[in-house]
Structures are given as structure tokens and as C-alpha cells.
Structure 1
Amino acid sequence: MTYKLRDYQQQASDAAVRFFSDKHKKRNAIEVLPTGAGKSLVIADIASRLEGHTLVFQPSKEILEQNYLKLCSYGVMDCSIFSASFGRKDIARITFATIGSVRHHPELFQHFRNIIIDECHLVNPKEGMYKEFLSMLNCKVLGLTATPYRLSSSRDYGAMLKFITRTRPCVFSEVIYQVQISTLLDMGYLSKLNYYPMNPVGWNELNLKANTTGADFTDRSVVREYERIDFYGFLVSIVRRLLNPKAGGKRKGILVFTRFLKEAERLTQSIPGTAIVSGDTPKATREMILRQFKAGEIPVVANVGVLTTGFDYPELDTIVMARPTMSLALWYQIVGRAIRPHPSKEAGWIVDLCGNLKRFGEVKDLRLVDGGNGKWAVYSKGRQLTNVRF
């Protein structure tokens, strides 16, 4: 089975092949493709075209399987999986792997020429498994991500989001291709999103305190604000209204993102048929819940800290953001669960209960801007969101 790439996908693949083929380019690079852009298809096309052995990293078993199967569907047979979670440790011309499985075996990959890292914003430029492994191989590295920034904090400068090509030290030095979210929306490749900011009465963000890293709000301050205004009861009332909306038709699935288990449990106690998915949910149970959710047998899934990446359900049309966050990446990843288009979906609904829309804006307004000399930054309606202090 073959695929015809969209124009921007072809451009991304061509740019990557040129990058790996150019012997004068010594520095590592990134490509920025929005959520829903078809990154697994682009990775498959790049890997199938490269000469020499190529190692493709994914951050999770789910994404690895998605990328591997996409390449197999091309009819490429000389590919394999090296991952303990799959119970497979095979090496081929194109090897899909998780970093935890290969970190202690760099000698097995000394003959590899190319490395592709999916979700490359997860690479810690200062320390960690990726940095350790990459230092032992003489390979060019290309990263792909929808969120090209990492949190950085210091005693002198406080906390800020830094574009990953501007961290010191940095793993990736340049952007060789990017496409804006608004471009894909205008072309009809992403679903239209309708936003509904619905802060509870009395909600006061000034009561929320940043944690010591500046990465997000403290658990204690969030809980105190929830309890002060009975956020739990408000959340139940909103989800009930969404189950029977006055306009817009019945929703195909309501995915609620909560910070703590307490809000999720309140939903299951108050709304029959609600299911909870969390980091503690056994794999088999989680797969069953998601299968029933997609089939329409479960109307509401309360998600506690998971399903932000790798959860592919294009029909999903309603997200309730029931947690405040200071993380632009988390906001974008969550909203992105509803941005994939589907013929039966006129528009996705993003119901924000905690002021995140005011903090970050709509994802269509996020823009990558090159300030010259490689000084990339992310903006929203003219306001700079990266490389500025919180």
C-alpha cells in the first residue's frame, strides 16, 4: 500500500533527506509539525528514503507501534523493533526503538548513520539517557515535534519556556522545516475548534501559586481553590450540560482532563457511565475503556494525567479542560486531542474551566517566528510565549 503525501508532508520529508545527505551540515536539526499533521507518515517516508542504517526513537510503546506500522504499510520490510516493552530486540536497516532499551547497548548501533527522534522536545540537553547515548554515536540527528520548547529555570533568571534550539547547551541547533497550525487549518487539514471559557463563579487565579521550578501551580494552592469554590460540583454540572446540549447536537465523546483523582471520582459518582483513566489504570483495562469510549458505549472519560500524546481518535469532538496549567505544551497537547478532522465532525469543542484560554490563547494563534540568526520563538497574537520570563 502506498501513500501520496500532502504538499507540506512532502516538503518536510524532502528537507529531512537533504539534511541527512548534506555532508557539510554537521549540526543536528528539528522539524516542527503541528498535532494532526501526520507526523508518523512523514517519519515513515523519511526513513524509507535514507541511505544507510537509521534509528528512530519514540517516547512510548504506543507511538512506536504507530510509526512502525506506518512504515510497514509502505511495504518496507527491512525494519524492526528494539524495545523491551514489545519483548523484541531486533536490528534492521531501519530500527524503531525506545531510548531506555538501547541506552546500555551503543555498541550495537555503531554502524548507524542517521537518527530520528519523535517528540524531540523530551530530550534533555543537559543530561539523561538521550544525551548519554547520542554522545557515543557519530550520527546526524533530526528531531520532530509539535511543541519545540522546554521549561528552563534558574536562580538568577527565574523560569521560562525556551525554544529547544536556544537552550544552552543544546542538542538541536536549527529548524530546517516548519508549518504553522493556522496554515493547516486554512487548508482544511485540521478540524475547526470552538472555544468556551467557563470559569466557575468566584474563581480567582491569584490564589494559585507557582511551584519551585516555575513549571506549574502547586498542588496545594489548586486544591485550596477547588475546595473554596466547590469546583467539583461545578465540573459535574458542566459535564451534565454537555451530555444534553441545547445546541450543536449530541457529542460523540467527552474527554475530561483533571489534575487529581478526586475530580474524576466525583464525575463517576455523579454521572452514570463515566470511566476513569489514570497512570495507575492497568493496560488491559485502559485499552478496554478507550475501545468502549470510541464505540460510544462510554459517554465520558475522566483522564488524570494521561492521554495527552499518542491518543488517536479523530471523531472526538468535546474536551473539558478541568485543570489550570502554566504549561503551554500541556495546553496544546490536550487541545490537540480534538483537532484531528473527521467527516462527521463539524467542529471540536474546547470547554476551558480554569483560565487557560486567557493565558495561552487559541492554538490557531500560536505562531513560530524566526527573529533572525536562528532566534526562533513562539507567539500568540503578538505576545511572545517562549524565551521570556514567566
Structure 2
Amino acid sequence: MVSTLSKDEVLSGFPPDYFDYIVIDEFHHAGAVTYQKVLDHFSPQFLLGLTATPERMDGRDILQLCDYNIAHEIRLFDAIENELLVPFYYFAIYDEADYSTIRWSGTSYNTDDLERLLTSDTRAQLVLNNLRKFLPPGEVKSKALGFCVNTGHALFMRERFEALGSPSAVVLGTTPEDERNRIISRLINEDDPLEIIFSVDVFTEGVDIPELTHILLLRPTESFTVFQQQIGRGLRRHNGKDFVVILDFIGNYRSSFIPYLSLRGISSARKIDLSDLPEMPKVPSICYVDKTGRLRKSSVENCARSLGQKQTIIWKFTGRYAGKSTSPSI
């Protein structure tokens, strides 16, 4: 692990030319100090970086670390088209929670405030109702992974689901590896009643559970990278698995436009071209996207507010301009 290798007492034990080949997984982290320390130390003949999400949230350009030499690139939608991943059925579900009262740091919401807002019996019932509504095909049981705000939110969701008759578990960063593996084994076992694991960030990357049938997005999605990572957890192919169900609980939070744009092929805020955004989702034909008009309007307005070009974007996606039916001057 890079956290071990980057320690002075460990790194100093290797001459710079010790390795001929170095392969770094999750290379989007390469801009971090620990990774930089390792990269600066070694001089391999060949360096290969692997990542599914090359765009970083902080805007750092990691491709420069490889002299912009891209050996091969295949994006998520292309991988689905080429049957390397399973299709997804995406359902955006309106969340009544009022995010306007939550403290905003300029880049993210206050997690304590979010926990207080989202730990409600009503919202837990909404989540469970939709999990039961969108069942997997065939006779298999639901095997869901729910991404929560923080530990308190994850523990609350497990408690409420258990009380509502849905066996659940929580996996956190502090969960011992043997316990984590035991819980995953229970989830994928058709004869075990466990049907959902609640987690925070521990399963965002580096986990392989091909049997997953559902991904539940239970917190505001605040980056394109995290959105792709979260839905990607359910896209692994598995025998008899035709698709994965994505249930995204979207309210009036500031970054609600991220799923909206991601489903139109946008992978970074830096890549948004307002004059070339498709009106409809740009997903593989074998996928399905369902979104209500109410959520669509909210997402467009939040996108416009964030980019500071409200009138232009609202006209582009809704055909309205400041409440008038006449064409805008752009």
C-alpha cells in the first residue's frame, strides 16, 4: 500500500532503479503527497497508471505525471456498450428533505447537519419502499449497497431497516477485514436474509461484489468522480445478472445537477460546453433512465446557479427564458 511504501524507513530500502515496471492502481490519487513521494523516488523503465476516473475533484491534472501518454482509454458508457459492464436502470426519486437549511462550506455540506436532516423515519421508509418496488429480475434476492453521509447515518439506516423487517448491515472503515468479508458473504448468499449493506466511503473504490443488484445513493452527490465510482460498484458482470438498479434520492441540494450532467456524458465540470449539452440523457441504448419533470427542473436550476448562467441553461433545457416564451438573446 502506498501509505506503507511512502514511509521514509520503507522507501529508503529500495534503490530508485529497483523496479523495472511499476503499476499504480487508482492513479487519480497520484496527485497526493504520498503518491508523489513514491513517484519521485523511483525511476522505472515503465510506469503504468490505472484509473476509472482520471478527472480529480480538485482539478489537478494527473495525466501530466505520465507525459499525457494514454496507452488505452475506455469510458464507462463505452464499456457498457462493449458488454464489459452490465447496463444500469437509473431511477431518480424525489427526496422531500429540505437542504436549504444545511450549512454549506463553499464546496460541500456540513456532514453533521446532513445527518440530522437525513436520519428520519419518513426518509428511511421512502428508501425501503423503493428498494422493494424495483426488484431484481428472476428469483434472486435484492443485494444492495447504500452510500450514506457518515457513520451516524449508516447506523441509523441499519436500525430503521431492521425495525421495518429488512435485514441490514453496516461496513465502515473501522470494520475488521474478516467481519467485512463475512458480511459480504452473507449479502451474496441467496439463502441468507441480509439484503443491504450501508457504508460511507469504504466501498466507493477498491471493492468487487459482482452480485450486487442495487446501488442506493442516499447522500448528496458532490462530484462527478464520486458519482461514477458509486454507480460503478454495481456494474460488474455476473452470471445471470442482466442489469443493476440505481436508486438516486435527489432533493434540492446544490450539486443535484451532477447526476443530471453525468448521464449526458459529462465527466468533469471543466468539460461542460453549454452550447453542446444534449437535452436527453446520453447513455447506452441498453440502459434506462427515469426522471420526473420536477427533478429535471430542480437539477437544471441548480446547474445554472452553480455555473452562473441561469437564463441560458434554463432556455437550453426547458425552453423557457426568465418565465417568458420568447427566444433569449445569447
Normalising by structure 1, we get a TM-score of 0.59
Matched residue SS, 1:178 = coil
Q: Choose the corresponding residue for 2:73, options 172, 175, 178.
A: 178
1:345 aligns to 2:241 (yes or no): yes
Deviations along 1:344-371, one digit per CA (max 9) or x if unpaired, are 22221110113576423375643679xx
Select between 344-353 and 173-182 the one with higher mean Cα deviation. 173-182
Q: Choose the corresponding residue for 1:192, options 87, 101, 122.
A: 87
Q: Choose the corresponding residue for 1:236, options 111, 125, 143.
A: 125
- Asked if the contact 1:257/1:305 (under 8 Å) is kept, the reply is yes
Once residues 252 and 324 of structure 1 are traced to their aligned partners in structure 2, the CA distance between those partners, rounded to angstroms, is 23
1:206–1:303 Cα change, 3 Å: same
Q: Choose the corresponding residue for 2:62, options 164, 171, 175.
A: 164
1:144–1:188 Cα change, 3 Å: same
Select between 286-295 and 355-364 the one with higher mean Cα deviation. 355-364
1:246–1:289 Cα change, 3 Å: closer
**Matching residue's letter, 2:204:** T
Once residues 293 and 124 of structure 1 are traced to their aligned partners in structure 2, the CA distance between those partners, rounded to angstroms, is 35
Once residues 104 and 195 of structure 1 are traced to their aligned partners in structure 2, the CA distance between those partners, rounded to angstroms, is 45
Query: Match of 1:147?
Result: 53
**Matching residue's letter, 2:24:** I
1:204–1:271 Cα change, 3 Å: closer
Whichever structure has more strand as a proportion of its residues is 1
Matched residue SS, 1:359 = helix
1:147, distance to aligned residue in structure 2 (A)? 0.7
- Asked if the contact 1:314/1:338 (under 8 Å) is kept, the reply is yes
Query: Match of 2:299?
Result: none
Once residues 313 and 101 of structure 1 are traced to their aligned partners in structure 2, the CA distance between those partners, rounded to angstroms, is 35
Once residues 389 and 164 of structure 1 are traced to their aligned partners in structure 2, the CA distance between those partners, rounded to angstroms, is 24
1:43-58 to 2 correspondences below 5 Å: none
1:186–1:221 Cα change, 3 Å: same
1:113 aligns to 2:113 (yes or no): no
Q: Choose the corresponding residue for 1:299, options 190, 195, 203.
A: 195
Once residues 173 and 267 of structure 2 are traced to their aligned partners in structure 1, the CA distance between those partners, rounded to angstroms, is 32
Query: Match of 2:258?
Result: 359
Once residues 8 and 261 of structure 2 are traced to their aligned partners in structure 1, the CA distance between those partners, rounded to angstroms, is 38
- Asked if the contact 2:221/2:227 (under 8 Å) is kept, the reply is yes
1:287 aligns to 2:161 (yes or no): no
1:256–1:368 Cα change, 3 Å: closer
1:354–1:100 Cα change, 3 Å: farther
Q: Please, what is the CA RMSD of the aligned residues?
A: 3.5
Deviations along 1:33-77, one digit per CA (max 9) or x if unpaired, are xxxxxxxxxxxxxxxxxxxxxxxxx669xxxxxxxxxxxxxxxxx
1:305, distance to aligned residue in structure 2 (A)? 2.3
- Asked if the contact 1:181/1:363 (under 8 Å) is kept, the reply is no
1:222 aligns to 2:114 (yes or no): yes
1:383, distance to aligned residue in structure 2 (A)? 5.2
**What are structure 1's unaligned runs of at least 5 residues?**
1-57, 61-83, 85-97, 153-160, 370-375
**What are structure 2's unaligned runs of at least 5 residues?**
279-302, 309-330
**Matching residue's letter, 2:222:** M
Q: Choose the corresponding residue for 1:326, options 218, 222, 228.
A: 222
Query: Match of 1:124?
Result: 31
- Asked if the contact 2:15/2:42 (under 8 Å) is kept, the reply is no
Matched residue SS, 1:343 = coil
Once residues 114 and 247 of structure 1 are traced to their aligned partners in structure 2, the CA distance between those partners, rounded to angstroms, is 43
Once residues 116 and 260 of structure 1 are traced to their aligned partners in structure 2, the CA distance between those partners, rounded to angstroms, is 32
1:302–1:378 Cα change, 3 Å: same
1:288, distance to aligned residue in structure 2 (A)? 0.8
1:321, distance to aligned residue in structure 2 (A)? 0.6
Q: Choose the corresponding residue for 2:149, options 259, 271, 276.
A: 259
Once residues 197 and 367 of structure 1 are traced to their aligned partners in structure 2, the CA distance between those partners, rounded to angstroms, is 18
Once residues 188 and 91 of structure 2 are traced to their aligned partners in structure 1, the CA distance between those partners, rounded to angstroms, is 23
1:312, distance to aligned residue in structure 2 (A)? 1.0
Matched residue SS, 2:250 = coil
1:135, distance to aligned residue in structure 2 (A)? 2.1
Once residues 354 and 136 of structure 1 are traced to their aligned partners in structure 2, the CA distance between those partners, rounded to angstroms, is 44
1:108, distance to aligned residue in structure 2 (A)? 4.0
Once residues 272 and 77 of structure 2 are traced to their aligned partners in structure 1, the CA distance between those partners, rounded to angstroms, is 13
1:137–1:345 Cα change, 3 Å: closer
Query: Match of 1:268?
Result: 158
Query: Match of 1:53?
Result: none
Once residues 116 and 59 of structure 1 are traced to their aligned partners in structure 2, the CA distance between those partners, rounded to angstroms, is 12
Moved over 6 A (4+): none
Once residues 84 and 233 of structure 2 are traced to their aligned partners in structure 1, the CA distance between those partners, rounded to angstroms, is 14
1:278, distance to aligned residue in structure 2 (A)? 0.8
1:14-33 to 2 correspondences below 5 Å: none
Once residues 178 and 135 of structure 2 are traced to their aligned partners in structure 1, the CA distance between those partners, rounded to angstroms, is 36
Deviations along 1:307-337, one digit per CA (max 9) or x if unpaired, are 1112212121101110113122211111001
